[in-house]
């Protein structure tokens, strides 16, 4: 059973792995952070030390607390050191075969009671667990970047995951001052499924020449209250991450047109224009970046906002209809995981189910594409005059 005294292992010392290790350390755990690349491990150690120094300088952490949290983490390049871990969270490359290989190796080292978790954002937990002799110990524990700051963690049981593993994992992560939501093991889980239209519909609008990127970003920020527009956000996340998640979700849903990736974004990835991290993506970042002004008129801006919002609501509704997650967890996931200004199901109630259905019907009739099919739950609610939140 996992507890506050459990020893935690983290596989992968990149930004996500390091953030998870730091979060566990802040909660008082002894943590082992592994990477098979010695240079990456040293970089992580130096990054952590520098980060703690800055927190002390800004008086966000006492010197004693920083020292304790730093010393709670040991940096390892030998997996055999993980034999006494009670929970190991893998945070490596989004490659199913690589993850399976790591889990097979870990099972040879750890106790039969050790919980093995993946931080995958889009791969199947059931598929990962199939590599293990004891599949019931495997679970998805998906943090959001940066893990030290983002409150949401998705808990994803595979088909074989034992109930006590689900319960103890969720209780432990709740104790790390995180907000947990439970999701079914389907592509993208909650957040990376429901959020796809924010990017894909914005890209579609841009590719159709309805508006330029900055105008679309301004529409979502000014009319919707989103902190970042879709193009700004894709550039910040990085196209090597954002595009790959879209392509993975699309592929895993048997090429459902709802999740179809964009050629425009793929070309950026192919060219190495990854966004802020490379200095160029949809926008240039060679100097201090300022979002260009909108060139869209008020009517066009409203059209952009409603089109993207209704596509988001449709996906959130479908996630509820397919019982991937509950109403509360869906709205919580989108506000706490990607900082949406409102839960999408509450937003649907606010603007009216009839208006959402009408907007989606207009899109479907115009494009005649399955991409714009309406979730059955929205149709049911319209007929019965019901709301998501009573």
d(CA 289, CA 104): 45
Q: Is 301 a catalytic residue?
A: no
182 burial (CB, 10 Å; 0-12 / 13-18 / 19+) is middle
* Token couple for 101: 């290989």
Strand 87-90, strand 115-118: pairing: parallel
Cβ partners under 8 Å of residue 37, min gap 6: 13
Q: Tell me the C-alpha to C-alpha distance, in Å, between residue 213 and each of 164, 199, 293.
A: 47, 11, 10
| 33-66 exposure pattern, b = at least 16 Cβ within 10 A, e = fewer | bbbeeeebbeebbeebeebbeebbeeeebeeeeb
Q: Is 385 a catalytic residue?
A: no
Q: Is 142 a catalytic residue?
A: yes
Catalytic residue among 25, 124, 129, 142: 142
Q: Is 121 a catalytic residue?
A: yes
| Cα torsion angle, 351, 353, 355, 360, sign | positive
Catalytic site positions: 121, 142, 154, 192
């Amino acid at each position: 059973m996992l507890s506050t005294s459990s020893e935690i292992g983290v596989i992968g010392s990149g930004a996500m792995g390091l953030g998870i290790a730091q979060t566990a350390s802040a909660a008082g755990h002894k943590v082992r952070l592994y990477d098979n690349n010695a240079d990456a491990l040293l970089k992580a150690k130096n990054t952590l030390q520098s980060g703690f120094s800055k927190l002390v300088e800004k008086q966000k952490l006492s010197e004693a607390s920083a020292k304790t949290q730093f010393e709670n983490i040991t940096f390892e390049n030998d997996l055999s050191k993980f034999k006494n871990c009670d929970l190991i969270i893998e945070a490596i490359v989004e490659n199913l075969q690589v993850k399976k290989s790591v889990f097979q190796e870990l099972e040879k080292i750890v106790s039969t009671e050790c919980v093995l978790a993946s931080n995958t954002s889009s791969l199947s937990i059931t598929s990962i667990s199939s590599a293990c002799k004891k599949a019931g110990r495997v679970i998805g524990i998906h943090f959001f970047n940066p893990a030290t700051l983002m409150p949401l963690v998705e808990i994803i049981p595979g088909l074989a995951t034992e109930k006590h593993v689900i319960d103890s994992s969720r209780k432990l992560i709740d104790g790390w001052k995180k907000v947990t939501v439970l999701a079914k093991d389907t592509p993208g889980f909650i957040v990376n499924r429901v959020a796809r239209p924010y990017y894909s519909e914005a890209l579609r609008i841009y590719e159709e020449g309805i508006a330029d990127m900055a105008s679309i970003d301004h529409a979502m920020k000014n009319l919707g209250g989103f902190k970042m527009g879709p193009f700004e956000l894709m550039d910040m996340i990085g196209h090597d991450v954002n595009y790959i998640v879209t392509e993975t979700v699309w592929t895993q849903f048997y090429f459902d047109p709802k999740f179809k990736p964009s050629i425009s974004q793929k070309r950026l990835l192919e060219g190495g224009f990854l966004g802020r991290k490379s200095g160029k993506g949809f926008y240039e970042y060679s100097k201090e970046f300022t979002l260009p002004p909108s060139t869209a008129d008020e009517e066009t801006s409203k059209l952009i906002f409603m089109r993207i919002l209704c596509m988001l609501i449709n996906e959130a509704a479908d996630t509820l209809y397919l019982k991937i997650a509950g109403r509360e967890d869906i709205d919580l996931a989108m506000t706490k995981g990607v900082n949406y200004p409102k839960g999408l199901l509450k937003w649907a109630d606010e603007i009216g189910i009839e208006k959402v259905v009408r907007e989606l019907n207009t899109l479907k009739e115009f494009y005649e594409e399955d991409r714009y099919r309406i979730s059955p739950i929205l149709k049911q609610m319209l007929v019965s005059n019901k709301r998501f939140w009573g």
